[in-house]
């Protein structure tokens, strides 16, 4: 059907096969630690990462130099649960490309 044709009555209700490609879209972020409880990664921006439209999260640790390390999580929440919440004293700030921030302060 071309862009100019109107859908036939009921045609938009017919189930369609799933798309051949996964959802698209990338949202970048950085992770900044105000403190480093473990003394391993340091302070300041220690991670750059992306969240994909699928919900997966890919992080690039900026330590150890010169390459750092890469990790893949099923979701941003999984990453936060594993690497941010266990270290509340780090006073971590996650900043997304659109300026949204999440802060995790010590308790």
pLDDT of residue 41: 85
Q: Does 72 score more than 80 pLDDT?
A: yes
The C-alpha atoms of residue 11 and residue 92 are separated, in whole angstroms, by 50
β-strand partners of 32: 45, 93
- CA-nearest of 45, 38, 39 to 87 is 38
The pLDDT tens digits of the residues spanning 10-67 come to 677 878 877 788 888 999 999 999 999 888 889 999 999 999 999 999 999 999 989 9
Q: What is the spatial distance between Cα 13 and Cα 64, in angstroms, rounded to a whole number?
A: 53
Q: Which pLDDT belongs to residue 1? A: 47
Contact partners, residue 48, CB within 8 Å, separation at least 6:
28, 29, 30, 31, 59, 60, 62
pLDDT tens across 82-95, in order? 999 999 999 999 99
Residue 4, pLDDT above cutoff 70: no
What is the pLDDT, as a whole number, of residue 8? 63
Contact 51, 59 (CB under 8 A): no
């Amino acid at each position: 059907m071309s862009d100019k044709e109107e859908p036939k009555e009921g045609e938009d209700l017919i189930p369609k096969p799933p798309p051949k490609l996964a959802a698209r879209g990338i949202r970048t972020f950085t992770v900044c630690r105000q403190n480093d409880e473990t003394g391993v990664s340091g302070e300041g921006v220690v991670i750059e990462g992306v969240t994909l439209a699928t919900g997966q999260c890919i992080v690039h640790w900026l330590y150890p130099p010169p390459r750092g390390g890469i990790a893949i999580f099923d979701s941003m929440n999984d990453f936060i649960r594993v690497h941010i919440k266990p270290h509340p004293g780090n006073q971590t700030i996650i900043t997304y490309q659109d300026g949204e921030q999440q802060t995790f302060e010590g308790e």
